[in-house]
Structure 1
Amino acid sequence: MDLLCVCVCVCVCVCAGLPVLRGYVAARRGEREEMQDAHVTLPDMSSCVSALPCQASCVSYFAVFDGHGGARASRFAAENLHHNLGKKFPSGETENLDKLIKKCLLDTFRQTDEDFLKKASSQKPVWKDGSTATCLLVVDDMVYVANLGDSRAVMCRMDAAGGGAADGQRKALTLALSKEHNPTIYEERMRIQRAGGTVRDGRVLGVLEVSRSIGDGQYKRCGVISTPDLRRCQLTANDRFIILACDGLFKVFSADEAVKFVLSVLQEGSVEQRSGLTEEEVRFEAACQQLASEAVRRGCADNVTVILVSIGY
């Protein structure tokens, strides 16, 4: 089926003694008339940061935005969020870098949302677009994930002990790096109701499927917020890859299934050599493209965007 938009991207971040990150992207329009997803891959984000803190030598950024009501909020976030992050990023001598990075992420999401809402309200007619956001920020070997809505981030970590497998093969563990925000979750529903909103059929006012987003100005008075959930974890030599994807993927794949699918492609026998790419890069690119295509084949009519970040040492 030709209802797809294909993106191929191999991006590399190399800092001495630190994880080597490579980003691969696949995007499919599915059966939608418009591609409302947007994405960003910046394995080396240093060009967006005026000066790194003394404790850090490498910063990478990957993000997926799933728009609804149009593509303007997702595109705005993709174009602006990392620049806002770069401007607010801590620099110089810092005593508590972790705390400063988390504050930077919170401030960045708030500003990006405010900037879009200001632009949206100045239009005639007013823009009513909204967008999820799942952003992966890697500072040296520390991963920070900030997310709004139902796009997700999951990591594949190989069991160092082998998982007790009889054949000696290492077991793959799937780690959730993000938290979904929808109005059926108790805490989210309570916040919406306290703000005077209602949840009907699992949606805010019976319409909006997510309880946190960028944009959606008409729902902000109903308790829909732009405060992201923040999670942090340290990369290890046992970590293989991270999947960032919109809900189009996870409508037809569980997180475990997605990880196993990627691993199965990576472990296939022969691969077609491509100029300028190593065998591993060819395998990861194929895994990313095939995962997105399989989501469409399984019947997902929504837009599907997948960023696959390989982790090497």
Structure 2
Amino acid sequence: MGCGSSLGIQSKVADKNHAGDDRAQQLDNSPLTADEIRSRIVCSDKPVKSQLTPSLSIEYAFVTQRGYYPDAVDKPNQDSYTIIPNFAGDPTKIFFGIFDGHGATGDLCSVFARKEVPDRLQKLMGKANASVPFTEIYSNCFTDTNAKLHTSRIDDSLSGTTAITCFMDGNIIHIANVGDSRAVIAKTDAARIVASPLSVDQTPYRTNWATAVNEEVDEDGDPPRVWSPTGNFPGTAFTRSIGDEIAESLGVFATPEIASLQLTSNDRYVIIASDGVFEFLTNQAVVDIVKTYDNPLEACEKVVAESYRLWLHYELRTDDITIICIYLEHAVVPETAESTQRLASQQANDLLTTNILNTRVTEQRPVRRGMSKQKRRDQMKKDMAKMVTDEDLNY
């Protein structure tokens, strides 16, 4: 079962009315029955609406599905999520987060970060004075969580978690990213709805990070990893993480990259998800699915179902898959001189942020399109068995 916490949004284990069941039954290559798939899914009971400002209301939902590992069928879901409306007692603020654990204690690391990051953010916001930039406060809550994890009872020497969080303060969003989970915004552009990145995966695919991680990067494998030159430790497929104490000696830190944008009437959806979604789906492919649904819960269900299908097409296993969809609804309100000036200032910052993200997106972790070696072997065995059966029938 996925680990999550939310205040004001009810969750449930998927029931027989879950929208993904029919699709699950149609998958000939699924190793799980519809009931088994359903038991692995935790989702919103229903979408939740929230009015953040007079001009902006949101509707949101989540779905998480525990991964399938043939050699460890009971492996826990290492993805955690949190949704905290009325953040710090302010109805204009809401916090969303997804934490994707890895390693032997990855589930414990992600649950730890899920609680500590927003708790620390709330405490730091309460202590800060007006001269401290919010981005500094936001960043510190991740590095503080990382330090606290190191001194906790959880062994994070070879385990840790990614983090993708979206903090909405009225119509301004702040995205903080550590690792290879992802945030995307969908915008109306003429007659199209176009995906734009709100984060860029922190992986060795980004060439500018080879130096940052002491150049101990192996580019021969899939994916490229950061390796220790002195020990037989597993390589990390990301260049930032909460936890992973040993990897810190290679430059794998918990400092997040932060992007801040003011939402406009052209913005339609904000999506955050673990790499279980983006392993085989592009940002635009996810948005193309989401835009076909008026209900964010149905959109989440469809994205998770498609991700599950693609995992089984290319692999013998599936990763944990978690997504939060936030639908944006804009209303027209009269502008004041103060709001116009504030918007112009924020738009200048938005343009800079957007340009940086669009420049870096060329180094985004590419979508996989090839079968794993194990999947190819398994497919060859099935093809050979079918050939033998066909020959017997013909004989």
**Normalising by the residue count of structure 1, what TM-score does the alignment of the two structures yield?**
0.81
In structure 2, the CA distance between the partners of 1:94 and 1:243, relative to structure 1 (3 Å rule), is same
In structure 2, the CA distance between the partners of 1:199 and 1:117, relative to structure 1 (3 Å rule), is farther
In structure 2, the CA distance between the partners of 1:180 and 1:22, relative to structure 1 (3 Å rule), is same
Counterpart of 2:225? 203
1:35 aligned onto 2:72: no
Deviation at 1:127, TM superposition (A): 5.4
Deviation at 1:34, TM superposition (A): 2.0
Identity, % of aligned positions: 25
In structure 2, the CA distance between the partners of 1:93 and 1:302, relative to structure 1 (3 Å rule), is closer
Counterpart of 1:180? 201
In structure 2, the CA distance between the partners of 1:31 and 1:215, relative to structure 1 (3 Å rule), is same
In structure 2, the CA distance between the partners of 1:158 and 1:204, relative to structure 1 (3 Å rule), is same
Counterpart of 1:135? 165
Matched residue of 2:248: which SS? Answer: helix
Residues 4-153 of structure 1 correspond to what in structure 2 (within 5 A)? Answer: 4-9=40-45, 10-32=47-69, 33-47=75-89, 58-69=92-103, 70-89=106-125, 94=130, 100-119=133-152, 122=153, 128-153=158-183
Unaligned runs of 5+ in 2: 1-31, 70-74, 228-233, 313-317, 331-395
Give the Cα–Cα distance (whole angstroms) in 2 for the partners of residues 251 and 107 of structure 1.
29
Give the Cα–Cα distance (whole angstroms) in 1 for the partners of residues 328 and 320 of structure 2.
26
Deviation at 1:236, TM superposition (A): 1.0
CA contact (8 A) 1:156 1:174 kept: yes
Counterpart of 1:290? 302
Between 143-152 and 10-19, report the one with greater CA deviation.
10-19
Give the Cα–Cα distance (whole angstroms) in 2 for the partners of residues 229 and 75 of structure 1.
21
Q: Which has the higher contact order (CA 8 A, sep 6+)?
A: 1
In structure 2, the CA distance between the partners of 1:104 and 1:218, relative to structure 1 (3 Å rule), is same
Deviation at 1:199, TM superposition (A): 3.5
Deviations 1:117-172 (A, max 9, x none): 111xx55x66532111001011111111000111000011112xxx2xxxxxx311
Q: Quick one: which of 319, 322, 325 aligns to 1:305?
A: 322
Deviation at 1:92, TM superposition (A): 8.7
Counterpart of 2:259? 231
Deviations 1:243-292 (A, max 9, x none): 100011011211001000111233xxxxxxxxxxxxxxxx2211111111
Per residue, is there more helix in 1 or in 2? 2
Give the Cα–Cα distance (whole angstroms) in 1 for the partners of residues 58 and 127 of structure 2.
23
Matched residue of 2:297: which SS? Answer: helix
Q: How many equivalent pairs are there?
A: 272
Deviation at 1:27, TM superposition (A): 0.5
Between 7-16 and 234-243, report the one with greater CA deviation.
7-16
CA contact (8 A) 1:133 1:148 kept: yes
Matched residue of 1:190: which SS? Answer: coil
Deviations 1:215-254 (A, max 9, x none): 0111111110111111111111221111100011011211
Quick one: which amino acid aligns to residue 239 of structure 1? D
Unaligned runs of 5+ in 1: 164-169, 267-282
In structure 2, the CA distance between the partners of 1:174 and 1:157, relative to structure 1 (3 Å rule), is same
Deviation at 1:20, TM superposition (A): 1.1
CA contact (8 A) 2:157 2:246 kept: no
Give the Cα–Cα distance (whole angstroms) in 2 for the partners of residues 39 and 254 of structure 1.
21
Between 27-36 and 101-110, report the one with greater CA deviation.
27-36
CA contact (8 A) 1:39 1:65 kept: yes
CA contact (8 A) 1:134 1:244 kept: yes
Q: RMSD of aligned C-alpha atoms? A: 2.1
In structure 2, the CA distance between the partners of 1:108 and 1:295, relative to structure 1 (3 Å rule), is same
Quick one: which amino acid aligns to residue 88 of structure 2? S
Deviation at 1:62, TM superposition (A): 0.5
**Normalising by the residue count of structure 2, what TM-score does the alignment of the two structures yield?**
0.65
